[in-house]
């Protein structure tokens, strides 16, 4: 079986900012369709702690491929 490229493996994966009362802020990468309720750090220590997803400013977007001008704002 052929290996998937890194681009194919990361398709649909976003980085989200979460907050845990015990661990503090952390970034977690997962698909938009996945729901994360428990802190992965606390869960590995057998402590159940709920985490909250924080709302952050948009980092913008990057246009990939040819034909896009980065400063073509007219």
Is the pLDDT at 24 greater than 70? The verdict is: yes
pLDDT in tens, 30-62: 888 888 989 998 888 888 788 999 987 766 666
Contacts of 19 (CB under 8 A, 6+ apart): 25, 26, 51, 52, 54
User: SS3 string of the chain?
Assistant: CCCCCHHHHCCCEEEEEEEECCCEEEEEEEECCCCCCECHHHHHCCCCCEEEECCCCCCCCCCCCCCCCCCCCC
- Total tally of structural domains belonging to the chain: 1
The reply to whether 7 falls in a domain is no
The reply to whether 2 falls in a domain is no
Is the pLDDT at 23 greater than 70? The verdict is: yes
Q: Give phi and psi for 71, each to the nearest 5.
A: -120, 40
The reply to whether 21 falls in a domain is yes
């Amino acid at each position: 079986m052929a290996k998937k490229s890194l681009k194919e493996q990361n398709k649909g994966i976003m980085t989200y900012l979460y907050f845990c009362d015990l661990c503090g802020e952390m970034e977690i990468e997962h698909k938009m369709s996945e729901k994360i309720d428990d802190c992965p750090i606390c869960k590995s220590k057998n402590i159940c702690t709920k985490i909250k997803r924080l709302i952050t400013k948009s980092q913008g977007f990057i246009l990939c491929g040819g034909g896009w001008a980065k400063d073509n704002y007219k």
